[in-house]
Amino acid sequence: MEQGDLSKLPPHPDLEKTFQLDGYLRMYETEIKRRYGVFYEVVTKIEKLEGGLEQFSRAYETFGVHRQMDNSITVTEWAPGAAGIYLRGDFNDWHIEEKYAFQQGDFGRWHLKIPADTDGSCLIKHESKLKLGMKLHNGHVVDRICPWAQLVRRPKNVPIFEQIFWDPPQVIKYKFINHHPQLLGGLKIYESHVGIASWEGKVATYKQFTQNVIPRIVDLGYNAIQLMAVMEHAYYASFGYQVTSFFAASGRYGNPDELKELIDVAHGQGIVVLLDVIHSHASKNTVDGLNQFDGTNACYFHDGGRGNHDLWDSRLFNYMEWEVLRFLLSNVRWWVEEYMFDGFRFDGVTSMLYHTHGMGHGFSGHYDEYFSLNTDTESLTYLMLANHMLHSLYADFIITVAEEVSGMPMLCRPVLEGGGGFDYRLAMAIPDLWIKILKESSDENWNMASITHTLTNRRYGEKCIAYAESHDQALVGDKTIAFWLMDKEMYTHMSKLSGPSLIIDRGIALHKMIRLITLGLGGEAYLNFIGNEFGHPEWLDFPRYGNNESFHYARRQFNLVDDDMLKYRFLNNFDRAMIHLESKYNWLSHSQNYVSLKHESDKLVVFERADTLVFIFNFHPTKSYTDYKIGVQVAGVYKIVLDTDDEEFGGHKRLDHNVQFFTFPNPWCSRANHTYVYIPSRCAFVLAKIDQIAT
């Protein structure tokens, strides 16, 4: 298919490669073809009725409030259950007036045109406040916010949002300088929340993130930022997951132009920016959300039980309702076209894929669980449509990620092969593993086979993003890895001047090793949550009624890592070295790895990646090994290129980096050659072949 061409869609999926990757899928060929057939039918219908997906997904150009070239205002809304709609706001002193009443059109649409003012200017000024008056069939008029609003804010001490008409003059409107960057090497994501990106007890801003955090990300070597909680949400403590305005960049951090500047500055540094997009559900808010927008319980959502997510207390979209499809597809298109986002992490994909929303369902991995009546074909079809559209229109740069825990086969294969179309899925079992063993096992009982199995247990040909912990593990009620390891003495022994501490020493050592083995073995991409690179203390908790609206835990204490007298800097130094090492050797782009050793009693793991890198881990709490024989596939001379025990990383400097490791042509551990190494306790290091050492 040519880039940008959405019309040349074959009526049947090309399953030859699919079955080459996984022959077991042949048993489900009929179901795979059926799912693709539903997708094909919807695309064909859009082509026939709307002129194609390209035009269909540009609805933000007509729906909502728009100033025209002649300074008139046009408004289009979809509200099939309404008896009438009025526009009111600053421009008419908030009155309900017939001259600002919408005219009913076809298919549940309503239209309004407001001529320019008598002096030729626009009647509705930039940053004016607006609301829709939705007339119900009982005669009552209730306030609603336009679903297509680009900015919403709430007055101080008022819990209800109102639309801000964002229409800056061209002379001050932000203009992008940089293009979408071409991703070089493996994807390394710095997961971020703008509001907490300050050590101060306040909501940080887009400007502050641009000025203070992006330079840190550049220094650390990450090549992608994933922005959470950007789509507007009325309740700050929802972490952005109860979206009320899908087209509005959250106004609590600044204005839309300041978000554009953030993305543009990141692009200038070669960093791609992903948006955490929430299309799996929506807030139940009515006055400033989509719920009961037209006065009915349906409209954007399913009516009845299917339209409610009981666990999340939120509404569920009707993905096959024509105008809902238009709304959601236009939404992802909007964030690319207007803000130049480079891709999306789709939240709650597991919830979308199954009628049970994955609740009370422990997936065993049997394929019958994925190709059964429990799969929600309508939701899957929407995801296929979104991925097909995005990858066709923006093939040069777009990245899509699925937050998906069930392991649905083919989710990260191209749509034309019968897959879901995602580029990556989050390897959500990996952080669960680390938290479980930190909670339940002492070091000497860590199971090397279990660790390596979890890190390597992914579908061949479907890329995974590995991570030791994300925002999920930082939230109140859980602990970060650093806190699990060191919470007993983090407040007393993180100073370089404090006395020796076995707890801190162990914690710093394992924190580095856990991250390195996750990055080395766990996937084809890597993710870190903001602040966790330096072992951020404590949990994450947003201001809410239950904590007296405190900001104490809704911040990132960068002041700790900036203090040269604190040990947090050791962890930050290691994270930087680890990420830059991957950028040099690009092992994430080499999906093949080989675990040559997982020794339970010695607590050793050895594996190779990118052909000439050898990773060696000794998780034993007390035992070091001299002249330990390990297998190496590629013959040559090797040197240490990264060492967790380095003094710069808070280690004990037990390894000599001048030592060269020569291979011997005798097989060992199923490898063609072997060498001998000294491997201290609670230490990991990486060997690289000398003629392959990157400069």
Q: Which residues of the chain have pLDDT under 70?
A: 1-7, 476-477, 694-695
576-614 confidence digits (pLDDT tens): 999 999 999 999 998 778 999 999 999 999 999 998 899
CA distance 107 to 322: 10
Burial class of residue 599 in the structure, from the number of CB atoms within 10 Å of its CB (0-12 exposed, 13-18 middle, 19+ buried): middle
| Contact present, 575 and 533 (Cβ < 8 Å) | yes
Matching fold, domains 59-164 and 593-692: yes
Taking the CA atoms of residue 496, residue 497, residue 498 and residue 503 in that order, the dihedral angle to the nearest 10 degrees is 20
The amino acid that residue 103 corresponds to is: Q
Catalytic position from the list 77, 261, 323, 403: 403
Q: Where are the domains of the chain?
A: 59-164, 187-587, 593-692
pLDDT at 2: 36
Cα–Cα distance for residue pair 425/406, rounded to 1 Å: 11
| Spatial CA neighbour of 34 closest among 554, 499, 381, 449 | 381
List the alpha helices (DSSP H) in 210-366: 214-220, 256-268, 322-339, 349-353
- φ, ψ for residue 618, nearest 5 deg: -120, 100
| Cβ pair 114, 121 in contact under 8 A | no
Catalytic: which of 54, 261, 276, 347?
347
Calpha distance 173→127 (Å, rounded): 13
Q: Within 10 A of 82 (CB to CB), how many other CB atoms are there? A: 24
| Nearest-angstrom CA–CA distance, 347 and 351 | 9
Contact of 193 with 226, CB cutoff 8 Å: no
Q: Encoding tokens for residue 527?
A: 């993710």
User: What CATH code would you report for 593-692?
Assistant: 2.60.40.1180
For residue 361, the model assigns a pLDDT of: 74
Angle at 570 between CA 478 and CA 508, to 5 degrees: 45
User: What's the CATH code, domain 187-587?
Assistant: 3.20.20.80
Taking the C-alpha atoms of residue 220 and residue 571, their distance in angstroms, rounded to an integer, is: 11
Pairing of strands 593-599, 103-104: unpaired
Q: What share of the chain is helix, strand, coil (3-state, %, to 5)?
A: 35, 25, 45
**CATH classification (class only), 59-164:** mainly beta
CA 516 to chain centre: 21
Please confirm, yes or no, whether 403 is among the known catalytic residues. yes
Q: Specify the residue for token string 């090994």.
A: 625
The alpha carbon dihedral of 446, 450, 452, 455 has a sign of negative
Residue 658: the pLDDT is: 96
378 is catalytic: no
> What pLDDT score does 303 carry?
95
